Amino acid sequence: MKYRTIGTDPATRREVSVLALGAMPFGSRTDERTSFAVLDRYVEAGGNFIDTSDNYAFWEDGGQGGQSEELLGRWRRSRGIGDEVVIATKLGGRPLAPGTSYVDNAEGLSAKVIRESAERSRERLGVERIDLLYAHIEDRSVPLGETVDGFAALVEEGTVGLLGVSNHAVWRVERARSLAAAAGRPGYEVLQYEHSYLRPRTDVPDDLFPDGSLGGADAQLLDYLRAEPELTLVAYSPLLKGAYTRPDQPLRPEYDHPGTRARLAALGDVARETGATPNQVVLAWQIGGPLPVVPLTGTSSVAQLEENLAAVELELDPEQRTRLDAAH
């Protein structure tokens, strides 16, 4: 396994594996035995960066979520896992009532919600301190300063280590970080957005982000990362839920444009040259690129995990990387 540093403060920064493991389906769609097997193999291989959320997976049973955090808590206790494994979770997107959605009925990002939700997550996970806590989705009904103060207070009290932000407009991220910096308080250091080798059109709204693709790492966000090298991007859905290799998993409509065909052709060529799978090439492209990117992969079997783990050791040569980057 290879590692990179997230965070800048010596008191809270962590060394994490360059491949993160998503625990979204654990405890719901993926049963406990399989979930434990995947987690055990990941840690055995040197992985130490696991991602969840307080609302995973509310859509499976019409509830409010929490199954993934609860399973991770049981796994930690049964295996004697301590702070050697970095667990990241998110708040702000938990439905306020069973049978509702975070699109129109989310808990939000008020100071009260941040404190109470973080405490519930700590209890479910069985940890004294959450290693990395994200603001999951935007809440423009709350003054940004209140959200910034709410998260900073938890770091200052020692119940949270690092702060992150997911699925926010870049200008909102920068404004929040500026507010924190001006007050001399902890701010967001890790950004989590959807990011893969294929490039989606950003003018195609979807069900989760009807006002635009706030969930995607677009050109503006990548430019922001280049300008702020202390930030780290955690890239969710890097394999587009299997669309690179599974005929039964078609690409979403926003990928229906000529650039997709060109990039798929380049990806196929490099996969054949390296003897790797397209999935492994995508992950290696992210891990070895010039920006600090940690791909976050969700797996429902040990076999899927093994394929992803092998990508960590795949080295793309400069010519292959140039070809992949230039395809459009």
CATH for 3-326, among 3.40.50.740, 1.10.340.70, 3.20.20.100, 3.40.50.880?
A: 3.20.20.100
From first to last of the 328 residues of the chain, give the pLDDT tens digit. 999 999 999 999 999 999 999 999 999 999 999 999 999 999 999 999 999 999 999 999 999 999 999 999 999 999 999 999 999 999 999 999 998 888 788 999 999 999 999 999 999 999 999 999 999 999 999 999 999 999 999 999 999 999 999 999 999 999 999 999 999 999 999 999 999 999 998 776 665 555 544 678 999 999 999 999 999 999 999 999 999 999 899 999 999 999 999 999 999 999 999 999 999 999 999 999 999 999 999 999 999 999 999 999 999 999 999 999 999 9
In the chain, where the domains are located: 3-326
b/e code 152-191 from CB counts within 10 Å (16+ = b)? bbbbeeebbbbbbbbbbebebbeebbebbeeeebbbbbbb
Has this prediction a pTM greater than 0.75?
A: yes
SS3 304: helix
- Tokens representing 101? 């959605």
